[in-house]
Amino acid sequence: MSNPQQLRYSKEHEWLSVAEDGVSTVGITEFAANALGDVVYAQLPEVGSTVTAGESCGELESTKSVSDLYSPVGGEVTEINEDVVNDPSLVNSAPFEGGWLFKVRVAEEPADLLSADEYTAFSAG
Amino acid sequence: MSSTAPRRTALDALHRSLGATMTDFAGWDMPLRYGSERDEHLAVRTKAGLFDLSHMGEITVTGPDAARLLNYALVGNIASVGVGRARYTMICRADGGILDDLIVYRLAETEYMVVANASNAQIVLDSLVERAEGFDAVVRDDRDAYALLAVQGPESPGILKSLTDADLDGLKYYAGLPGTVAGVPALIARTGYTGEDGFELFVSPADAEKLWLALTEAGAPVGLIPCGLSCRDTLRLEAGMPLYGHELSTSLTPFDAGLGRVVKFEKDGDFVGRGALEAAAERAASQPPRVLVGLVAEGRRVPRAGYSVVADGQVIGEITSGAPSPTLGRPIAMAYVDAAHSAPGTTGVGVDIRGSHEPYEVVALPFYKREK
């Protein structure tokens, strides 16, 4: 699996896109999606709510387990991916594209986000 | 469990070459899934799936008193099982608590094979050895003598037929016969844990890989795929089949689990647990404690083992197994609930899913039954 170069990554296995007009897109990595197995339910943060970097803002449920969803950055949620709410399997089939989870107006960005190469090494370790 | 490294089956290298996600299960390193567990589940329901179940524990009982011993040691009437047939049964403690659920195959007049769950195989073996005292019978640990492959699903008879001359049409559900499959000597059993037609093949570990490859080659054109333990769990849950450690435990008798039918009081002679089980049968009939029911979610959040079942703000039961059901498209669960809330159609029942009470419908088990 390859992690897109233009994204940055958290150690909780979320990815973050480069902000456009201050808004970034958040999803989970292919590594995380594979580890979860088939995602069957996604509880995403509400539009307009504030998320905090490194804190739980929702949950992803798979056949075998439920996992907290962490936001890699802090800010206001501007949009959630209704397609994923309706068809959570998108998280497995296209984690870096159609399976994105939410968009956030970034107010706070932690300094320890990883580059694609750093994340690849981290998730292999 | 000991802290030693998990055991590996004869098919371990093959699983890894297929890219399986492995998991520690009862001390064994087993395939959890190869790809999507949902796809694996649906393959078994509609086509066929191939499983490695070599973690299961085989124990052979032989000798003139083999039948008498098993009638004494287990709750079922094992002496009445015909040669070539199999029986679902249980082994209980003297207090009636379930030690394990088992399938017993009668291989010959004086030879049986007892198949125990991996997690309980040692306990079952020890109990049988202890209970064999005074009987002219030998209890043999055959856990290392067998690999176990299962082919399950509607296409499984056709797949197997292409690899064996054995009379599969004459092989009924819960029967087993020795034969040759793909040139490999095998005990061919028409049993399974998926709710579908299918076969379990007990073979020498040395032959396991050859058989796996032959089944894959014969089955792939009709949609057979390798399947892991994750889908085996959702398949058995849809079929309403209990899993030891979830629906069954030493603190429950077969009557508490709604499986009193496996206890045969009418058989000859005493058996371990008889007195306690007679009392348990009476209790279950007159004042049932909790009853095992099925629950179907109205929403999409998945109940997990240990979650509370609630009604009117009160805890009325506990989930024993829960999963998203690929066949129903909704989360399902088995749960022990107070008898007052156990009737199918009972309203106002919910599951406490991490603090929020999600509505659930009480239904009769099983959730899924195949068309015959």
> What are the residue ranges spanned by the domains of chain A?
8-110
Considering the domain boundaries, does residue B226 fall inside one?
Answer: yes
Instruction: Decide: B153 and B163 in contact? Cβ < 8 Å.
Output: no
* Residue of B32, B37, B234, B302 to mutate when probing chain A, most A C-beta within 10 A: B302
Largest interatomic CA distance in chain B: 61
Closest Cα in chain A to B304: A65
Q: Looking at the predicted structure, is the pLDDT value of residue B2 above 60?
A: no
The residue type found at B44 is V
Closest Cα in chain A to B321: A64
Considering the domain boundaries, does residue B247 fall inside one?
Answer: no
**B130 & B103 share domain:** yes
Cα–Cα dist B104/B249, whole Å: 19
> Looking at residue B266, what is its pLDDT?
96
> Looking at residue A107, what is its pLDDT?
94
**B42 & B62 share domain:** no
Closest in A34, A41, A63 to B301, CB measured: A41
In terms of DSSP H, where are the helices of chain A? 30-36, 82-86, 90-93, 116-124
**B325 & B347 share domain:** yes
**B150 & B49 share domain:** yes
Which CATH number describes the domain made up of A8-110?
Answer: 2.40.50.100
CA distance A38 to chain B (A): 6
B301 touches chain A (CB under 8 A): yes
**ipTM, 2 dp:** 0.83
Q: What does the pLDDT average to over B6-23?
A: 97
Instruction: Decide: B17 and B29 in contact? Cβ < 8 Å.
Output: no
Q: Which chain B residues are closer than 8 Å to A38 by Cβ?
A: 36-38, 324
Q: Which chain A residues are closer than 8 Å to B354 by Cβ?
A: 66
B324 touches chain A (CB under 8 A): yes
Considering the domain boundaries, does residue B223 fall inside one?
Answer: yes
Closest Cα in chain A to B39: A38
**B205 & B76 share domain:** no
Estimate the crossing angle of helix B229-238 against helix B37-46, to 10 degrees: 50
**B163 & B208 share domain:** yes
Tens of pLDDT, residue by residue over B38-84, are 999 999 999 999 999 999 999 999 999 999 999 999 999 999 999 99
Cα–Cα dist B354/B69, whole Å: 48
| Bridging pattern class, strands B7-8 and B28-33 | parallel
Partner-chain contact B324 A37, CB within 8 Å: no
Share of chain B above pLDDT 90, in %: 95
Cα–Cα dist B165/B148, whole Å: 20
Token pair 């249980």 is found at B90
Partner-chain contact A66 B36, CB within 8 Å: no
The residue type found at A19 is A
Closest Cα in chain B to A62: B324
Instruction: Decide: B116 and B53 in contact? Cβ < 8 Å.
Output: no
**B304 & B368 share domain:** yes
Mean of pLDDT over chain B:
96
Q: What does the pLDDT average to over A61-89?
A: 95
**B72 & B120 share domain:** yes
- Which of B327, B289, B321 minimizes the C-alpha distance to B306? B321
Considering the domain boundaries, does residue B243 fall inside one?
Answer: no
Domain that holds residue B321: 288-372
Cα–Cα dist B44/B345, whole Å: 29
Q: Per the confidence metrics, is the pTM higher than 0.90? A: yes
> Looking at residue A82, what is its pLDDT?
97
CA distance B95 to chain A (A): 34
| Residues B225-261: b if buried by 16+ CB within 10 A, e if exposed | bbbbbbbbbbbbbbbbbbbbebbbebebbbbbbbbbe
Q: Domain of B293: which CATH number?
A: 2.40.30.110
> Looking at residue B1, what is its pLDDT?
47
Q: What does the pLDDT average to over A30-57?
A: 95
Closest in A34, A38, A43 to B38, CB measured: A38
Cα–Cα dist B83/B111, whole Å: 9
Structure tokens at B359: 């509505």
Q: Walk across the sheet containing A66-70 and list its strands.
A: A39-43, A56-62, A66-70
B302 touches chain A (CB under 8 A): yes
B115 touches chain A (CB under 8 A): no
- Which of B311, B332, B310 minimizes the C-alpha distance to B321? B332
Three-state secondary structure readout of B130-165:
HHCCCCCCEEEECCCCCEEEEEECCCHHHHHHCCCC
- Provide the pLDDT confidence category of residue A124 given band limits of 50, 70 and 90: confident
Q: Domain of B116: which CATH number?
A: 3.30.70.1400
C-alpha atoms less than 13 angstroms from C-alpha of B304 in its C-beta half-sphere: 9
Cα–Cα dist B77/B60, whole Å: 17
Listed in sequence order, the residues at least 6 apart from B148 whose beta carbon sits closer than 8 Å to its beta carbon are B52, B53, B54, B56, B58, B200, B201, B202, B203
Closest Cα in chain A to B324: A63
CA distance A15 to chain B (A): 22
CA distance A16 to chain B (A): 26
H or E segment to which residue B125 belongs: helix B121-131
Q: Which chain B residues are closer than 8 Å to A43 by Cβ?
A: 301
Considering the domain boundaries, does residue B30 fall inside one?
Answer: yes
> Of A44-58, B2-16, B89-103, B235-249, where does mean pLDDT reach its minimum?
B2-16
Q: Looking at the predicted structure, is the pLDDT value of residue B275 above 90?
A: yes
CA distance A41 to chain B (A): 6
Would you tell me which residues 197-236 of chain B have a C-beta closer than 8 angstroms to some C-beta of chain A?
230, 234
Q: Domain of B190: which CATH number?
A: 3.30.1360.120
Share of chain B above pLDDT 70, in %: 99
The residue type found at B371 is E
Three-state secondary structure readout of A87-107:
CCCHHHHCCCCCCCCEEEEEE
Closest in B33, B302, B304 to A40, CB measured: B302
C-alpha atoms less than 13 angstroms from C-alpha of A72 in its C-beta half-sphere: 26
**B316 & B265 share domain:** no
Q: Which chain B residues are closer than 8 Å to A37 by Cβ?
A: 21, 32-33, 36-37, 230
> Looking at residue B372, what is its pLDDT?
74
- Which of B293, B277, B306 minimizes the C-alpha distance to B349? B293
Mean of pLDDT over chain A:
95
Closest Cα in chain A to B37: A38
H or E segment to which residue B355 belongs: none
Partner-chain contact A63 B304, CB within 8 Å: no
How many separate domains does chain B show?
3
Cα–Cα dist A113/A3, whole Å: 14
Partner-chain contact A40 B234, CB within 8 Å: no
Q: What does the pLDDT average to over B297-320?
A: 95
Q: Looking at the predicted structure, is the pLDDT value of residue A88 above 80?
A: yes
CA distance B204 to chain A (A): 32
**Residues of chain A contacting B, Cβ within 8 Å:** 34, 37-38, 40-41, 43, 61, 63-64, 66, 89, 92
Considering the domain boundaries, does residue B246 fall inside one?
Answer: no
Share of chain A above pLDDT 90, in %: 90
Partner-chain contact A41 B37, CB within 8 Å: no
**B280 & B292 share domain:** no
**B69 & B48 share domain:** no
